[in-house]
Amino acid sequence: MDLVDRFDYPLFKDVGPPYTMTLTSKIVKVAKDSKLDLIHSHYAIPHAMSAYMAREICGIPYVVTLHGSDAHSLGQDPAYRPVVEHAVQNADAVTTVSEFLKKKIVEELGVTRDVHVIPNFIDVKRFAPSCDFKLVVESGCVSVRSTEEAQEINPDEIILLHASNFRKVKRVVELIDIMRIVVDHHPNTRLLIAGDGPTRIEVERRIDALDLCNNVHLLGIKSNMLEIMCSADAFLLNSMLEGMPLVLLESMSCGLPVVTTPAGGIPELVRPGKDGIVTKGFETEEFADAVIELLDKEKMREQMSAAGRKRVEEHFAAKAIVPKYEKVFEEVISKQ
């Protein structure tokens, strides 16, 4: 592993060290030492610009993959846009993880070059359903128990799961409003939220305000997300904007039925009514009704669980996607 150097000179006290430059220097060093043929840069900010400068210095080609905010929001901010547009436009190849993002960078970022759409992928052998465990909440503490133990402790309890970085676009605060409606219909339902981020304090206050302390539990950042996913009953994603969320791929691969919004590239992954429930819009009541419908219909949950797992296996497994990247890499190298 090659870590990017960090130098805290007094000169950088107010602005911070120039990470893009140190990253470029590290790319150049690794490329020369290891005799690399190509750099694959994920995210336009700051990695694509560093890859661009590395090519200028040592001639190594680079491929940039755009994942989301680097294309549809942050990358279009006037503070970054000229650099992002230049680094993307002049890359040796460009890929995005969804048709939605491709459209965004062509129509709104002004990119005029060819763009390959290659969706995200996961290891379906690692993210696989398990019937051996289930999440249990006792006295406010969350634990993973055997299915038999869980049935004895809370036989009728349904565990919903959400995981994100708590940015506003993830709408975690609104998810608490949704849970108030859901709990009014299904008191034995709990929502576990993994992750942390900017809106966490707002989420905590909303939980208190809506008297949901016994139904919504904040887990913080967890290292055993695979185990948690395999132990829940359904996954909720209430985002306003997404590229191709890995968390949905992972949840579906683990056999979780999902309720989500039509944000960005999500409909390219979740076929509405088949692999999960995709709301028509972004209203709180509509999303809550969708969750309640899923809770009311056990057979629907089972069907969507199986369909979601099959879809990921067939279309988003590493063996299906990696060759697409390899083809792009080979085309770039052949032109050098």
Same structural domain, 171 and 251: yes
Domain coverage including residue 149: 133-315
- Specify the 3-state DSSP secondary structure of 15: coil
CATH code of the domain in which 273 resides: 3.40.50.2000
pLDDT tens figures, 294-304: 999 999 999 99
Cβ contact 56:87 at 8 Å: no
Same structural domain, 160 and 302: yes
Q: What integer is the mean pLDDT of 313-319?
A: 96
**Domain-embedded: residue 58:** yes
Count CA atoms within 13 Å of residue 113 on its CB side.
16
- Block residue for tokens 């048709």: 99
**Domain-embedded: residue 327:** yes
CA distance 39 to 24: 11
CA distance 149 to 138: 12
pLDDT tens figures, 243-293: 899 999 999 999 999 999 999 999 999 999 999 999 999 999 999 999 999
What is residue 152's predicted lDDT score, i.e. its pLDDT? Answer: 64
**Domain-embedded: residue 206:** yes
CA distance 42 to 64: 6
pLDDT tens figures, 89-107: 999 999 999 999 999 888 8
Cα-Cα end-to-end distance for the chain: 27
CB atoms within 10 A of CB 112: 9
Q: What integer is the mean pLDDT of 214-228?
A: 90
CA distance 32 to 30: 5
Task: Assess whether the previous peptide bond of 46 is cis (omega < 30° from 0).
Answer: yes
- Alpha carbon of residue 7 to chain centroid: 31
- Block residue for tokens 């034995």: 188
Same structural domain, 76 and 35: yes
pLDDT tens figures, 150-177: 666 666 789 999 999 999 999 999 999 9
Same structural domain, 141 and 187: yes
Pair of tokens at residue 258: 């999902």
**Domain-embedded: residue 226:** yes
Count CA atoms within 13 Å of residue 310 on its CB side.
10
Same structural domain, 40 and 157: no
Is pLDDT of 134 > 80?
no
Higher pLDDT pick, 153 / 212: 212
CB atoms within 10 A of CB 54: 25
**Domain-embedded: residue 1:** no
What is residue 126's predicted lDDT score, i.e. its pLDDT? Answer: 93
**Domain-embedded: residue 126:** no
Number of H helices, E strands in the chain: 14, 12
CB atoms within 10 A of CB 284: 16
Is pLDDT of 135 > 80?
no
- Block residue for tokens 């694959």: 40
Count CA atoms within 13 Å of residue 335 on its CB side.
13
Cα distances from 107 to residues 3, 76, 82, 127, 274, in angstroms, run 36, 11, 15, 35, 30
Cα distances from 74 to residues 105, 113, 279, in angstroms, run 12, 20, 26
pLDDT tens figures, 29-81: 999 999 999 999 998 888 899 999 999 999 999 999 998 877 777 767 788 88
* Percentage of residues of the chain with pLDDT beyond 70: 91
What is residue 142's predicted lDDT score, i.e. its pLDDT? Answer: 72
Position 254: which residue type? C
Same structural domain, 308 and 214: yes
Same structural domain, 208 and 165: yes
What is residue 157's predicted lDDT score, i.e. its pLDDT? Answer: 83
**Domain-embedded: residue 2:** no
Same structural domain, 223 and 252: yes
What's the domain count of the chain?
A: 2
Same structural domain, 174 and 307: yes
What is residue 305's predicted lDDT score, i.e. its pLDDT? Answer: 96
CA distance 336 to 59: 9
Q: What integer is the mean pLDDT of 220-230?
A: 88
Cβ contact 204:196 at 8 Å: no
CA distance 234 to 259: 8
**Domain-embedded: residue 128:** no
pLDDT tens figures, 192-203: 999 999 999 999
Same structural domain, 174 and 113: no
Same structural domain, 71 and 154: no
Same structural domain, 191 and 282: yes
